Amino acid sequence: MNLSSLPVWAELSIFIAATIAAVLAVYAISRRMFARHAGEETQTLAGSVIFRIAALHSLILALVFAQEQINYSSLRASIVTESDAVADIYNDLIRYDAEVTVEIRRAVLEYTREAAGPEWKMLASGTLSAKAWQSWEEVYQGVLNLEPQTKRQEWLHDNMRGDIDTISDTRTSRELAAVGSVTDLFWIAAVGGLLLVVVPYFTFAPTVLHLVLLTIFATFNGLILFFIAALSNPYAEPEALEPLAFERLVNTLSTE
């Protein structure tokens, strides 16, 4: 099943339902295997084990969730920085010499259109557009080949070269963010920790209230894991960033 084609609420519901099913299954299996061997002190020991595993499990989830949120916010700020640098280059080219820099500005516009459209969709799979790189190479070479004749042009030329370096850095950051920062080791630790927390609960009888409490526990864990999965690739649904800064810039440059 391709969950990415479903609405967010449907993806979340399936994710949580799978987590609840896994938790209740582990509880049932543990109850069947170990309940008859439990002694008077088993529940006390189980409570101690639950507390320690749950503390480590919660710490792992909290740290990774916080890191993913920071990465998501940093990427959004980086995109704004890149679009501002592109706009600065375009406007500085006009200030430098509107007639001489016509072709360079055309390449800037083509780059921005590609970055806001086809390339943005490609980033969901972790790749940058070759066409965008080609347009950017034209801009890069065009700016480097400019020969300032006045102090004003020298200052503008230096400023544009600085913006070029900024964009090169932000493009690399965008590509790295598309790869995803959550490793398989985290998912092993997260899912394994969740299921290990449930095992000692075999000491509690399967009453309706106990099953409800386990369901609540599984629901919250499923919610957090879903959020981490959603933030791990900021270009893919359900929490995909939109290229709003690039789109506004394309509209502005096209008008000019």
pLDDT digits (tens, 9 = 90+) for 157-177: 999 999 999 998 898 888 888
Give the pLDDT band of residue 126 (cuts 50, 70, 90): confident
Domain ranges of the chain: 3-255
pLDDT tens column, 54-113: 999 999 999 999 988 888 888 889 999 999 999 999 999 999 999 999 999 999 999 999
Give the closest residue to 183 by CA, choosing from 128, 125, 232: 232
Average pLDDT over residues 177-188: 79
Q: Supply the pLDDT for residue 94.
A: 94
* pLDDT for the residue 153: 94
Do the beta carbons of residue 18 and residue 186 sit within 8 Å?
A: no
Contacts 24+ apart (CB under 8 A), 124-130: 124/178, 124/233, 124/235, 124/236, 124/240, 125/178, 126/175, 126/178, 126/179, 126/180, 127/175, 127/178, 128/171, 128/174, 128/175
Quote the pTM value.
0.78
pLDDT at 1 > cutoff 50: no
Residue given tokens 């001489």 in the structure block: 100
